[in-house]
Amino acid sequence: MAAFVQLQWLLLTRSPRLLATLFVVPLYAVVFFTTVRSYEAPELAGTVALTAFSMSMWSQAMFVAAEVVDNDRWDGTLEPSLLTPNAYVRSLVTRVCTVTALSVPVLVEVIAIGRVGFGFPLPVHRPVIALTATLLLVVGTAGSALLVSALMIIVPVGRLLQNALTYPFYILGGLVLPVTSLPAPVEWVARLFFLSHGAQLLRDAMSGADGSHWGDFWALFVLSAMQLAAGVFLLRRALSRARRGEARLYA
């Protein structure tokens, strides 16, 4: 597993484009925090920080992590990888999780910028909840990225999916507004989506809201695990299609 993490780390650090998230998001954060300050609405600073983080994690997953298989196809490394299909799936899961996890520092960056640069308190009242939610969010988001990476092999228009899968999911994930403020039918769909529970937990962890968090916690746990399982399942499907000659092994 260390070898798989190392591979992805080397691939990421040796291509500057791939780590862009870590450098671009803080700039956006500066813009957002400036807006928040000039409207004298410091109570929104926490929401801004969380939205910036969760949106960048999701887009990092969709645009960087989800491309691992397609990139392997371009590099011609997909074919030799399939000589050891089980190890390849393990490798992909590890690599996609690595890429997704690399957006976690964004949260720290954004909070630091808010505190140091703008003097917003941005407290984290429940660090354990925040940490657990972040971990589970990484798992679920990586699962979604695996799902997309498999779709990119199975359907010819896979790359179009990437764009389609961003903004609607920012809404469905409750990243922009809490899902409770969505129209009822949309809210129901959103509740089936792991992101909405993760976003809620993070908000609660920061605001220190009272009450039980177990409902959101279990929903996040189960839905993230399901997301990961679905990703692995579809990936295996994609690879077995390649073996049947129905999907191209090379670009």
Partner 1 sequence: MSAVHVEDLSRRFRGRKGQEVTALDAVSLRVEEGEVVGLLGPNGAGKTTLSRILTTLLLPTSGSARVEGLDVVREATAVRERIGLVLGGERGLYGRLTARQNLRYWGAMQGLTGSHCRTRADELLERLGLAARADDRVETYSRGMVQRVHLARALLRNPRVLIMDEPTSGMDPHAAQGFRGLVEELRDGGSTVLLATHDMQEAQLLCSRVTLIDHGRILREGAPKDLLTGLDSPRTVTAGGVSAVVAGAVAGIPGVAVEGPTPEGLVTLRVTGDDAVSEVLRILTAAGVHELSVAAPTLAEVYRSIIEDREFAL
Residues that bind partner 1 (CB under 8 A): 3-4, 6-7, 10-11, 14-15, 75-77, 79-84, 87-88, 91, 242-245, 249-250
Query: What are the structure tokens assigned to 204, written together?
Result: 């609660």
Nearest to 149 by CA among 61, 58, 248: 61
Question: Closest separation between CB of residue 46 and partner 1, Å?
Answer: 39
Ranges assigned E (strand) in 78-191: none
Residue with the two structure tokens 């300050």? 37
Question: Closest separation between CB of residue 232 and partner 1, Å?
Answer: 17
What is d(CA 171, CA 162) in angstroms, rounded to the nearest whole number? 16
Question: Closest separation between CB of residue 156 and partner 1, Å?
Answer: 11
Question: Closest separation between CB of residue 227 and partner 1, Å?
Answer: 25
User: Which is nearer to partner 1, 43 or 79 (by Cβ)?
Assistant: 79
Residue with the two structure tokens 């389609």? 164
User: Which is nearer to partner 1, 47 or 149 (by Cβ)?
Assistant: 149
What is d(CA 220, CA 11) in angstroms, rounded to the nearest whole number? 30
Question: Closest separation between CB of residue 20 and partner 1, Å?
Answer: 16
User: Which is nearer to partner 1, 50 or 242 (by Cβ)?
Assistant: 242
Give the C-alpha distances (Å, rounded to integers) separating 126 from 50, 112, 137, 153, 228: 14, 17, 16, 41, 26
User: Which is nearer to partner 1, 80 or 119 (by Cβ)?
Assistant: 80
Q: Which residues contact 99 (CB under 8 A, 6 or more apart)?
A: 8, 12, 18, 60, 61, 64, 65, 68, 142, 145
User: Which is nearer to partner 1, 19 or 249 (by Cβ)?
Assistant: 249
Question: Closest separation between CB of residue 150 and partner 1, Å?
Answer: 18
User: Which is nearer to partner 1, 83 or 116 (by Cβ)?
Assistant: 83
What is d(CA 245, CA 44) in angstroms, rounded to the nearest whole number? 53
